[in-house]
Structure 1
Amino acid sequence: MIEHGRGATANRASQRFNLPAREEDGDWLDERDAIDGGPPRLRTTVTVEQPRTIITRNQSPDIGFDRSINPYRGCEHGCVYCFARPTHAYLDLSPGLDFESRLFAKPDAAALLRAELSRPSYRVERIALGTNTDPYQPIEGDWRITRSIVEVLADTRHPLTITTKSDRVVRDADLLGRMAADGLAAVVLSLTSLDPQTARTLEPRAPHPRRRLAAIRALTDAGVPTYVSLAPVIPAINDHEMEAILAAAAEAGALGAFFLPVRLPHEVAPLFRAWLDAHHPDRAGRVMAIIQSMRGGRDNDPDFHSRMRGQGPWADLLRTRFTIARRRLGLGGIGIPLRCDLFVPPEKDGQMRLL
């Protein structure tokens, strides 16, 4: 059964960590039985998480940053292809519907960030927001954790990049514009389709494509360098829109663009296969065959560098089309130069900054 307004079609638990299969709880069954015509809509819940640190570090050689912040775990946008879905398995939750409905928020993020930035040993490099789950997903409207993080980074003049699918980022254009004027901020808007029906099934709770294009324009007008991400490009699903998406982004004021072929790590592959069977049964086999041709005969290629590029004739064709369209439209690449020499450490334990 397809859950209306959600991306995943199943909620099976991961077996990679010897987790037991999930069972529907009694309250859910009671509520379902009390309603005529089927089960109720799946509700989003938010649990407070209290980590000891907030900056996550990585040493991946094919990623252009070494630190990031994730204000939330899970993502209500429900993008079926999301490579972050398997992280919910660490919480004994399903990478399926649990990932997009059982969310975790970190309200102490700003305080933790101030503490980490105030350490004498801290060395400045840009911090990336939106690398795992979307920092401007719907619950940010109430929790405003991302806003509090940006406030800290603006106050300390720390470089920042944001990747998001949400036009909610425009709410923080006052801070981002101020930072961008000093070469400290840039935003990447993810846009995978201009077709509302495709977007509705691929990313059921993400903003309409028109709103994302409007966000590119609004951020550009506010002086924020804004780029567009075509990630992922899925053969026989949205690859035919590549040139049109780039043209629309350029018209909206985007400075540059990049794309990534679809990745299907761990539990994402079976979720994506189930999504294809539900929404595109006529081409499911063809889509998976092309994906496997780009991934060395597998559903996913986990190797550094090749995981971001793909291989074979299909991957080469996508890169050629993208490069031709990007250059024709005058769009740059995704190299985002930001300054790291303006950083001012925050106050620590009530002590004033040293001038």
Structure 2
Amino acid sequence: MQKVDGYTAGRGAQLNVHNRFDAQAHEVREDFLNYCALEGEDPYKTQTVLIDTFPKTIVNRVDSPDLRMGFSLNPYQGCEHGCVYCYARNSHEYWGYSAGVDFEQKILVKRNCVELLEKKFQSKRWEASPIVLSGNTDCYQPIEKKLEITRSLLKTFLKYKHPVGIITKNALIQRDIDILKELAKDNLVQVNLSITSLDESMRRMLEPRTATVKKRLETVEKLTAEGIPVSVMMAPIIPAINSHEILPLVKAVAERGALSVGYTMVRLNGAIGGIFTDWIQKTMPDRAEKVLHQIAECHGGNLNDSVFGRRMKGEGNIAEQVAQQFTIARKKYLQGRALPVLNCDLHEQYKDGQMKLF
């Protein structure tokens, strides 16, 4: 695949776009780059920076009618995975950072989230309702291997017998199969694994620091073998990049035990439009215009669509063709399968972390 000069391997975003909330704009000037070259300095600091935060609450209500979740919990803000299309990039602007490279480098860690979750579960006003880990950014991103915050959260869900959903694209979830198995015994967990493409070379460009395609397919198989229900999200569908892979991908995950599949159409909201456009012009200049035009065709001529009920699936001929392919794929490969409904009935007996006897 042809790439132009200026492409940085291992990064999704290739630049730091302006934060719309900042009064000042920042740019990298040629004289600064020349100075760095003479001094042997790296003008772009690429190491990940962890920023400790201590929020007052951790469980967020999700009001969007497009999302099948009532509550979410995100132990991290920002994400090292670096997926170029990620809708969560815009949320980094609220913290004072760019939706571009900053989103991948500056990771906010919510150090007190386990304590806050326990407090929520012990509240007499809280009634059990599924809470989804990673409603915004991935709870199994690389730093989780060291910090183990997500693992501690899962132990808390198990202790209080509370239902939890997980969205991830990292095979690190295999580390926690011991806890997930215990949750699954009482129908308290569902895993939604994101697999965007079966093409490893495309995965490396779209999602540079995620688990490989092979490891993700292996994860579906291993979780299923342990009785942990798995759904696969092909998200997002990007016309002329992965839209031709729907049937083979659904076949592959069905063979490994997935109970369902879902999808979203790519939409480049806010700062992501500029980030994605810059990225595709550097990584695939030969098809950049075609891809951008086809994305716009799915959203009424725009790269973004914010209308509930339409924004996630798109509209027009391309979006309709994608929907039809998924209908065919489900009938062909997933007939008779469905995710079990999460159990919300046990938690009340475990409000203090121990089963009530009377």
If the length of structure 1 is used for normalisation, what is the TM-score? 0.93
Aligned match of 1:270 in 260, 268, 274? 274
What are the equivalent positions in structure 2 for 1:230-269 lying under 5 Å apart? 230-269=234-273
Paired residue secondary structure (2:87)? coil
Q: CA deviation at 1:106?
A: 1.0
Cα pair 1:80 1:202 within 8 Å, conserved: yes
Size of the alignment, in residue pairs?
350
Distance 1:331 1:137 in 2: 33
Match of 2:10 in 1: 5
RMSD of Structure 2 on Structure 1 (CA): 2.3
Match of 1:50 in 2: 54
Distance 1:317 1:55 in 2: 37
Paired residue secondary structure (2:72)? strand
Write the letter of the residue equivalent to 2:331. R
Cα pair 1:166 1:206 within 8 Å, conserved: yes
Cα pair 1:257 1:334 within 8 Å, conserved: no
Shift in CA distance, 332/28, structure 1 to aligned 2, threshold 3 Å: farther
Distance 2:302 2:234 in 1: 22
In the alignment, is residue 207 of structure 1 matched against residue 235 of structure 2?
A: no
Shift in CA distance, 275/40, structure 1 to aligned 2, threshold 3 Å: closer
Which structure carries more relative contact order (alpha carbon 8 Å, separation 6+)? 2
Match of 2:200 in 1: 196
What are the equivalent positions in structure 2 for 1:58-69 lying under 5 Å apart? 58-69=62-73
Shift in CA distance, 160/147, structure 1 to aligned 2, threshold 3 Å: same
Distance 2:135 2:337 in 1: 18
Cα pair 1:45 1:101 within 8 Å, conserved: yes
Shift in CA distance, 333/104, structure 1 to aligned 2, threshold 3 Å: farther
Match of 1:72 in 2: 76
Distance 1:159 1:280 in 2: 42
Cα pair 1:254 1:331 within 8 Å, conserved: no
Q: CA deviation at 1:315?
A: 0.5
Match of 1:327 in 2: 331
Shift in CA distance, 332/13, structure 1 to aligned 2, threshold 3 Å: farther
Distance 1:40 1:323 in 2: 45
Cα pair 2:238 2:265 within 8 Å, conserved: yes
Q: CA deviation at 1:243?
A: 1.2
Q: CA deviation at 1:34?
A: 4.3
Shift in CA distance, 280/118, structure 1 to aligned 2, threshold 3 Å: same
Which stretches in structure 1 are left out of the alignment for 5+ residues?
Answer: none
Q: CA deviation at 1:4?
A: 2.6
What are the equivalent positions in structure 2 for 1:330-341 lying under 5 Å apart? 330=334, 336-341=340-345
In the alignment, is residue 228 of structure 1 matched against residue 223 of structure 2?
A: no
Cα pair 1:13 1:92 within 8 Å, conserved: no
Cα pair 1:61 1:304 within 8 Å, conserved: yes
Q: CA deviation at 1:19?
A: 3.8
Cα pair 1:228 1:257 within 8 Å, conserved: yes
Write the letter of the residue equivalent to 1:174. D
**Could you list the per-position Cα deviations for residues 123-172 of structure 1 after superposition, in whole angstroms to 9, with x for gaps in the alignment?**
11100011110000000001111111111001111011101000101111
Q: Sequence identity of aligned pairs in percent? A: 39
Aligned match of 1:304 in 287, 305, 308? 308
**Could you list the per-position Cα deviations for residues 161-187 of structure 1 after superposition, in whole angstroms to 9, with x for gaps in the alignment?**
101000101111111111111111010
Aligned match of 1:123 in 122, 127, 134? 127
Match of 1:139 in 2: 143
Distance 2:350 2:55 in 1: 22
Aligned match of 2:164 in 160, 164, 175? 160
Query: Which sits farther off after the overlay, 319-328 or 332-341?
Result: 332-341
Paired residue secondary structure (1:84)? helix
Shift in CA distance, 42/189, structure 1 to aligned 2, threshold 3 Å: same
Distance 1:297 1:188 in 2: 31
Paired residue secondary structure (2:165)? strand
**Could you list the per-position Cα deviations for residues 216-239 of structure 1 after superposition, in whole angstroms to 9, with x for gaps in the alignment?**
111111110011110001000111
Distance 2:189 2:309 in 1: 26
Aligned match of 2:104 in 100, 111, 135? 100
Q: CA deviation at 1:24?
A: 6.5
Cα pair 1:33 1:39 within 8 Å, conserved: no
Which stretches in structure 2 are left out of the alignment for 5+ residues?
Answer: 1-5
Shift in CA distance, 210/332, structure 1 to aligned 2, threshold 3 Å: farther
Cα pair 1:261 1:310 within 8 Å, conserved: yes
Paired residue secondary structure (1:46)? strand
If the length of structure 2 is used for normalisation, what is the TM-score? 0.92
Aligned match of 1:35 in 28, 31, 40? 40
Distance 2:38 2:210 in 1: 31
Shift in CA distance, 289/156, structure 1 to aligned 2, threshold 3 Å: same
